[in-house]
Amino acid sequence: MQLRKADSRRISSGRTRVLAAIAAGLVLPLAGGTVVAVASAAPAVHAAPAAAAPAPTQAPSGAVVSSVNWLSDRRVALWVDSPSMATPIQVQMLLARDWNKDPQAVFPSVWMLDGLRATDQESGWTAETDAESWFADKNVNVILPVGGQSSFYSDWADQDNGKNYQWETFLTKELPPILERDWRTNQTRAVAGLSMGGTAAMTLAARNPGFFKFAGSFSGILATTTLGMPQAIAYAMQDAGGFDATAMWGAPTSDAWAQHDPYVLAEKLKGTSLYVSSGSGLTGAYDQPSGIPGVSTNYAGMGLEILARLTSQTFATKLNKLGIPASINYRPSGTHSWPYWQFELKQAWPQMASALGVPADKPACTIAGGFADVHSGNNWLADCLTDSYAVTGGSAQDFRFGRIFSSNLGTFPVAGAIGGVYQGYKAADGILGLPTSGEIGVADGRGRFNSFQNGMIYWTPQTKAHAVRGAILGEWAAQGYEGGPLGYPAADEVQTPSKPGAVQGFEIGAMYYSEANGTHAVQGKIMDKYAGLGFENGALGFPKTSEISVKDGGRFNQFEGGNIYWSPATGAWAIENGPIFDAWKSVGYEGGRLGFVTSDQFPIDGGVQQNFQFGWITVKNGQAQIFP
């Protein structure tokens, strides 16, 4: 998240507007969509935040989206439970330029494939290049599969190294129905990739004729069965993650190798717009010279790019013999590295856009009125992507690095990770309503927030961005916001799974809400004990108070079914409502002769016992007895 300058003097006023709305009675949706007026004394039970797209149901392929995480207003991560791979697969999307402006539109897609050392955290295209900001003004949905190290995005013959790779099935059968039904993506597709991803782009396009309108290879290995190439690929896969190439396609002489060789499959690429590029391996503009003429310090990248050049030439010769047109780009220098692939993506875009039927260039847009005033003070938003357009209660305009919303509440920017969470709540159409502040730096120098009509979104580098709203926000505010005992929000608010209520995690505990008991914080060692007893589903139920101070630095929370006490000398222990608690109460709780609790209740012959600092209490035949 990009940190931005803000006037800290606005912190209290931004917070006050939100709390005033809570006190006056908010209009919030309950789970199931019913809308009710909610007074501060009886807040709604909050549902988990909804994604801006409809909640996905199971695809015809059996795949289902199990989780959605909005990373910015137009970058989202989906976790798709893949039946073929029997595991959740992360797919990130960069949404089309007009995604917000035209909510009924569907868009072509560009599928960007990673290299041999793909990680399970993020696509190299967003981690290593400017693809996210560069695609912002393109009217396509960009599909970024995450993971697949050394997989060649293919269906493997056997499991290996803890992976059950069935990438071709996932990409061509399981994922498309989800994108088309729930994420406004049509069947007009392009695919491009670097190195391993370049090989896979050509292979997938050839093995699935008509699935992609365009296929691009940047430094791909495009003749995988020529002399020595299976061995070179096997060595590279072993080096990148310890994978066995025979688990992928069997022995190098097996038919599966030929069935995944772009050179062998070249004839099946007829009708697909093709782009092929490679460097020469010599030192280029983005390399560090080694001191030897033409040789860079990227020795491995030099050798790999030479292989890419040789196999690309072999592949291009085959295309020429078959009369299949392609854009072939042999660069006079350059090694196997990300700056060159970023360059090639931009070179390939006009051809890709033509194949997809979208304009290559961004249309003109203007920034006027209040939008212009706010934009001039927030130049990090960069250029406009759209003109202003109507949203619920006001208007909005999209920029390369965020959005500006305007209403009778004012005109404010929302961006970055905070903008992502806001989008996950359906932005102006959702329960948070319109912004009532821009992004403001908190006085501690660590956090930032935007306030909205019905809540706030906070962000720190450690906790990421989370919304706080309703009764939980009211109690958190009463305790001092992030300066109080709980610190910053560290999780989204969710419904408690087995009982009506809600819970939200913070850095140092959690805030619980239930209609019967109100909203209360549980934290520290008391929270640890509560967790060990099953949270609200255990014998204690929901909290009835936040933490209360007692003698000798001790603390306790009262719950529906009892209390949890903690002191520095004794630790945290639960005492349930009943005869033992009543007997302890009769001698003055922790201030009496028994002191603090030092154990949970445990069985003894004929009854139960609980220990204290200076004695114990037993219950037999329903009668409590205090010792000594």
Short-list 188, 192, 214, 194, CA closest to 326? 214
Residue pair 241/151 in contact (Cβ under 8 Å)? The answer is no
Q: How far apart are CA 218 and CA 277, in angstroms?
A: 5
Q: Is 305 a catalytic residue?
A: yes
Phi/psi-derived region of residue 134, left when phi > 0, alpha when psi is between -120 and 50, beta in every other case = alpha
Q: Is 277 a catalytic residue?
A: no
* Measured CA angle at 544 (ends 541, 545), to 5 deg: 135
Given the residues 336, 375, 466, 520, select the one marked as catalytic: 336
Residue pair 419/427 in contact (Cβ under 8 Å)? The answer is no
Q: How many residues does the chain have?
A: 628
Q: How far apart are CA 510 and CA 528, in angstroms?
A: 11
For 339, residues 6+ apart whose C-beta sits below 8 A from its C-beta are 285, 286
Given the residues 195, 277, 296, 337, select the one marked as catalytic: 195
**Which DSSP helix (H) or strand (E) runs through 196?**
helix 196-207
Residue pair 597/610 in contact (Cβ under 8 Å)? The answer is yes
Quote the distance between the C-alpha of residue 72 and its chain's center.
9
Given the residues 122, 168, 174, 305, select the one marked as catalytic: 305
Enter the tokens of residue 483.
């300066």
The answer, yes or no, to whether the previous bond of 628 is cis (omega within 30 of 0) is yes
Residue pair 564/601 in contact (Cβ under 8 Å)? The answer is no
Residue pair 450/462 in contact (Cβ under 8 Å)? The answer is no
Short-list 492, 25, 17, CA closest to 35? 25
For 577, residues 6+ apart whose C-beta sits below 8 A from its C-beta are 561, 562
Q: Is 336 a catalytic residue?
A: yes
For 355, residues 6+ apart whose C-beta sits below 8 A from its C-beta are 190, 213, 214, 273
Q: Which residues are catalytic?
A: 195, 305, 336
